[in-house]
Amino acid sequence: MDSKRKHSPGVLPQQRVIEVGSSDASSYCARLFADFGADVQKIEPPGGDRIRRTAPLTHKGQSAWFAFLNFNKSSTILDPADAGTIARLTALIEDCDVLIDGRDVDSANCPPIDIAAIRARHCGLTHVEASWFGCGGPYAGFAATDSTIRPRAGLIKLVGPAEGPPSHAPDFQTGILAGLWGSIAAASSVIARMRGEQGRRWSLSIFESSLALSEYFIFEASAHGKVVRGIGINRFWPVFPTGIYETKKGWLGVTTFTPARWRAFCDMLRLSELGDNPDLLLGKDRLQDIEQIEQQFVPRLKKRRAQQWFTEGRK
């Protein structure tokens, strides 16, 4: 992997991060550190990370997903069959500030390392260990995939057509979400260490990270007996509009969680009368008139390119 370091030093330029194992959650967690200026070194086996072969592939046969998850990092190939590899990896970890560990998902032929012994010698090390279900609990040790985690967490029930089975996207959504949570935890440890505290160890559960998006539905069902059902493709309860819409050229992501965002969206499209309608101020109210509202703003979006709308929206 070629290193494509940013010119901007970011806010974590002094942090050295080592990434081991193969997990989209740990890869994205490390990617976020790299985005903020940290020196992130990815350890790969001689054949390369498995995600390098994950579709979609570019015209050069390179994985677009791998490029996204590993932007701004450098890569080091370590062969466990070589003499001295364990000592070399141990030295790299002892010299870093943060270890982001995806071996529990896929070891990626990583040579064995004694993390407990390393942390005993390097008390400032922050260790983030990603796994499907965490280190404890009834599911600990269970095998899983992104495709099984998402439905178990209740994340696909509302995705797809209103009638028929839900849709499943072939991507790494659970890993992206878990990587975000892992980076927040690890960053908090970095701040704590700057204040004189020791490094911390975090068990990152991909499953529990995904529950953060569906727990609202659990509370709704428990408190009010509501069974939320799918409302159609590109429509996501409990807010509308929230989705990806076609423009004259390209697609535009729209999110209108607050009344202010809804009004601003309508003003941008020259539909102020829609934004000023008190009966449509809240997302739950707009959900009752989805078809009528879409008939007004969807044709407007197709009059300009996505980049033009993006520029206009920033104003």
* Least trusted range by pLDDT, from 7-11, 83-87, 126-130: 7-11
Residue 9, pLDDT above cutoff 80: no
**Residue written as tokens 């901007």?**
8
Residue 300, pLDDT above cutoff 50: yes
* Least trusted range by pLDDT, from 108-117, 219-228, 253-262: 219-228
Residue 293, pLDDT above cutoff 50: yes
Please answer whether residues 297 and 269 qualify as being in contact, where contact means their C-beta atoms are separated by less than 8 angstroms.
Answer: yes
The predicted structure's pLDDT at residue 186: 96
Phi-psi region of 191 (alpha: psi -120 to 50; beta: other; left: phi over 0): alpha
The predicted structure's pLDDT at residue 213: 84
Residue 297, C-beta contacts closer than 8 angstroms, at least 6 positions apart: 241, 265, 266, 269, 271, 274
Residue 136, pLDDT above cutoff 60: yes
pLDDT bracket for residue 8 (50, 70, 90) = low
Amino acid letter, residue 81: A
pTM of the model: 0.85
pLDDT > 90: percent of the chain: 71
The predicted structure's pLDDT at residue 144: 93
Residue with more model confidence, 168 or 133: 133
Q: Give per-residue pLDDT as tens, 251-287.
A: 999 999 899 999 999 999 999 999 999 999 998 899 9
* Beta strand spans in 48-102 (E): 74-77, 98-102
Residue with more model confidence, 5 or 11: 11
Q: What would the mean pLDDT of 48-76 be, rounded to a whole number?
A: 94
Long-range contacts of 2-10 (CB under 8 A, 24+ apart): 3/72, 3/73, 3/74, 3/75, 4/71, 4/72, 5/72, 6/35, 6/37, 6/72, 8/37, 9/37, 10/35, 10/36, 10/37, 10/38
The predicted structure's pLDDT at residue 215: 83
- What residue ranges of the chain are covered by domains with CATH 3.40.50.10540? 16-211
The predicted structure's pLDDT at residue 1: 60
Q: Give per-residue pLDDT as tens, 186-223.
A: 999 999 988 889 999 999 999 999 998 888 777 878 88
The predicted structure's pLDDT at residue 230: 82
The predicted structure's pLDDT at residue 212: 87
The predicted structure's pLDDT at residue 239: 86
Q: What would the mean pLDDT of 146-160 be, rounded to a whole number?
A: 86
The predicted structure's pLDDT at residue 77: 97
The predicted structure's pLDDT at residue 71: 95
Residue 49, pLDDT above cutoff 80: yes
Matching CATH number, 16-211, of 3.40.50.920, 3.40.50.10540, 3.30.1540.20, 3.30.1330.10: 3.40.50.10540
Nearest to 166 by CA among 176, 153, 180, 179: 153
